A and B are shown apart, each in its own frame.
Chain A
């Protein structure tokens, strides 16, 4: 009997460019054609259904100044604001039609990481994602880089708002520079730590951004350039020489230079390939993605298109899969269970236990992009429990009716094997192993927890569910 590879390919695509299939997705995207599905994901059209799910989260669009005003009036208000941000993140991952866009928003936020618990970041992280990350997730890398560099959340998190020219006063050296942003800009955001830059380059990169600050941390929280703080001397950064006398544009010129540097193309291409293809992506796909980056002037859409069009990407459909991060696992399980998320608080607590609290990676490095780094007994236990709890309908703020879902998909919700086979078809492209199917099918009849909930819980806790 010939094997139909369509469902496996569809599941692969849904797992890699999004947070995995919902029941019915495989048939739907095979019906429209995988090419058209990819194109629609790259286009990311309006998603009114998602908008209506988010409508109740009224603080999502608040500018920083409004958040600060509320906070100054009542400090407890920030708790509500953060809750809404977290809930929105979960709702988007689970319910957005534009799955690729949500994956990339998460990817770029993590690439340009800020830690939400760090002082002013509490009041500016929502605005940071909304203003600096989301509009450019499928756009130009230079726009992402510029928007993050000038955003108060980043200026605060990497201390640039404090950085001033070092001056001599009365023969005494008064140091003003803060190297933090200058270093991470090169190491984490653009050319990468192995590019070959020196400590002197780090210092001069930081000098380029002296004066890039925040007008008032307690009220308006807006970007402000302070000419008096700027170091107007000549600078030399990794091949870029800027003459003395520059101002705010020293920083812009350095961003232009770094955004178009071949090492940046390669660094970003590799990281995207690592997200979409494998922990150690083949050089061929990195080459292809880096070439697309350079020929398109750093257009993220074209880089992703190049990766999705590679043989290496599709070969992964038949590999062991890339282990999911906690967010990928949780979102994919919620989608697999056809869950309806109204409040993300309980889900966020699971993510915390799995080691990936939302917006809360302390180092500027961001969370690991390697799946293998997320596999350990502690996380594994919480993952299995999340799957079991989800199928049992025991997660607050989440509606899940696996019996109804199995019936809608044509299965018999009282027959363990039928439940397992239905889930394998809808979520795994018939990819559940014999041992997993057999184990799930051994669920005993009767008992206080329904057959469908137990079988679905086991499938969501299975080894296959841990990878994408």
Chain B
């Protein structure tokens, strides 16, 4: 990992942010102006690991080929939650219908990129780096995005994950936490001494191990000094007891606490790699997904106006059912988008169709929207970041027009 100390600024002592020495003052002003419009908006990316089947999230029940291809695992016309006469939500996602009708939730099928390959690991890597086909990219797309936002507080980028997600890889400090509660040293009866001496050890080093220790204490400082961060869910929101529930619950906590967080990554590894018994897996996972999004919207209340949530995955699945009532690795997937400024109540993008000649390599849902166009649009809208230079070797198009 490359560390550029000039761009790293830590919250120290009283939680005061210093200014980095790597910025030329005029470039700082330009960036501040660009960012002013975005103000305190937040971008939340939920990543469903495993390749979630887009044809089950947003069911093309108006496409007769869908029933031919999916056979016994197709969602019946009578079961889908009809959205527009052609697409419908999976019945387990029914709680999302109200948000859709209120215009705060949208769907984007047939999104992806053909270079993602059908490998989980490569597809996740390519998506998170934002450079399909190029494994040498040393940074993640969210890291590059928050690097363009003025300020370097450790809580500007937050990942609810056991590990630093590839999306945040790079020099910007990022708070990685599975849980915000009890983010403290456990040295009963000598805590102050332990903190002083451990800080001395980590502050003395200018390498990756030193920096992670410094970030840990910086994060501890902010979290312990912000009791509001432990506020319970508001508005009667009830989050499901699952990774996506605890991730979005804590995302809401940190947004409500107002500590300058701009980009949040929620890592979800569940039963999305549905090679077998797909219906059963979705019956387990989709209610969690829907309930978590509904709870998040309720919990944030009016604050949702400044927040955009993007639910994504590394690839979609083959258009036809396999021999195990499941589906193998495919291409085009489906994103769910939610937020106050999301142009909701509609299915975005263009539908490629499911006819044999319309499928990619006669098996996968084709891709009609490059995922980077969506990333760029959301980075622009939520972080005030110019998306044109966000993806090395690629200039994003105008985007599918997801955000008003």
- Which chain A residues have a beta carbon within 8 Å of chain B's beta carbons? 158-159, 162-164, 166, 174-180, 183, 187, 193, 199, 202, 320, 323, 353-356, 362-365, 368, 372-381, 384-385, 388-389, 392, 433, 435-436, 438-440, 442-444, 447-449, 454, 457-458, 461-463, 466-467
Chain A residue nearest in CB terms to B364: A199
- The answer to whether A179 touches B194, judged by C-beta atoms less than 8 angstroms apart, is no
Within 8 A of A (CB), among B170-213: 174-178, 183-190, 193-194, 197-198, 200-202, 204-205, 207-210, 212-213
- Do A362 and B49 contact each other (CB < 8 Å), given the known contacts A175-B320, A463-B201? yes
Residues on B with C-beta less than 8 A from A193 are 117, 119, 121-122
**Interface residue? B354 (CB, 8 A):** no
Please tell me if the beta carbons of A164 and B209 are within 8 angstroms of each other in the complex.
no
B404 at the interface (CB under 8 A from A): no
In the assembled complex, the CB of A241 is this many whole angstroms from the nearest CB of chain B, namely 22
Cα–Cα distance between A373 and B159 once the two chains are bound (Å): 14
14 contacts between A and B (CB under 8 A): A164-B323, A178-B322, A202-B118, A355-B161, A363-B49, A375-B164, A378-B161, A439-B197, A439-B198, A447-B190, A454-B193, A462-B198, A462-B201, A463-B202
Given A183-B329, A365-B120, A448-B189, answer yes or no on A377-B175 (Cβ-Cβ < 8 Å): yes
- Contact digits for B6-24, partner A, Cβ 8 Å, 1 yes 0 no: 0000000000000000000
State A442–B199 Cα separation when bound (angstroms).
13
> Nearest B residue to A203 by beta-carbon distance?
B328
Query: In the complex, A436 Cα to B204 Cα: how many Å?
Result: 8
Bound together, the chains give a CA A199 to CA B276 distance in angstroms of: 19
B273 part of interface (Cβ distance < 8 Å): yes
**Interchain CA distance A443-B200 in the complex, whole Å:** 12
A179-B328, A183-B118 known; A378+B187 contact, CB < 8 A? no
Q: Which of A163, A356, A362 is the one whose CB lies under 8 Å from B324?
A: A163
- The answer, among A356, A377, A449, for a CB contact under 8 Å with B216, is A377
Name the residue of chain A whose CB is nearest to the CB of B220: A381
B290 proximal to A (CB < 8 A): no
B117: A residues at CB distance < 8 A? 193
Which B residues lie within 8 Å of A199 (CB)? Answer: 118, 361
Chain B, Cβ-Cβ closest to A372: B1
Instruction: Give the residue among A166, A174, A377, A467 with the most B Cβ atoms within 10 A.
Output: A377
Cβ A159 vs Cβ B204 within 8 A: no
By Cβ-Cβ distance, the 9 closest A-B pairs, closest first, are A355-B162, A176-B323, A435-B204, A162-B324, A376-B176, A439-B200, A377-B216, A179-B328, A180-B275
Contact A320/B207 with A159-B276, A381-B220 known, Cβ cut-off 8 Å: yes
Name B residues whose Cβ lies closer than 8 Å to a Cβ of A. 1, 49-50, 117-122, 154, 161-164, 174-178, 183-190, 193-194, 197-198, 200-202, 204-205, 207-210, 212-213, 215-216, 219-220, 269-270, 273, 275-276, 320-324, 326, 328-329, 361
B194 & A388 in contact (Cβ 8 Å cutoff): yes
Q: B276 contacts A162, CB within 8 Å? A: yes
Q: Which A residues lie within 8 Å of B208 (CB)? A: 323, 372, 375
Residues A463 and B209 in contact in the complex (CB < 8 Å), given A164-B323, A199-B361: yes
Q: Is A179 within 8 A of B213, CB to CB?
A: no
With CB as the reference atom, state the residue of chain B lying closest to A165.
B323
> Which residue of chain A is the closest to B276 with respect to CB atoms?
A159
Report B-chain residues with C-beta under 8 Å of the C-beta of A180: 275, 328
Inter-chain CA distance A178–B278, complex, in Å, is: 13
Residue of B184, B213, B361 most packed against chain A (CB within 10 A): B213
Cα separation A365 to B123 with both chains bound (whole Å):
13
Could you tell me the distance between the alpha carbons of A372 and B2 in the complex, rounded to whole angstroms? 11
In the bound assembly, the distance between CA atoms of A6 and B275 in angstroms comes to: 53
Asked if residues B118 and A439 are in contact (CB atoms below 8 Å), the reply is: no
Cβ–Cβ < 8 Å partners of B186 in chain A: 385, 388-389
| Most interface-central of A166, A177, A461 (chain B CB within 10 A) | A461
Chain B residues contacting A356 (CB-CB under 8 Å) are 162
Q: A178 near B323 (CB under 8 angstroms)?
A: yes
Instruction: Contact check, A385 vs B185: say whether CB atoms are below 8 A apart.
Output: yes
Instruction: Determine which of A365, A379, A439 lies in contact with B163 in the assembled complex, contact meaning CB atoms within 8 Å.
Output: A379
C-alpha spacing A233/B263, complex, angstroms? 52
Which chain A residues lie closer than 8 Å to B320 at the CB level? 175
Q: Are B194 and A162 in contact (CB under 8 A)?
A: no
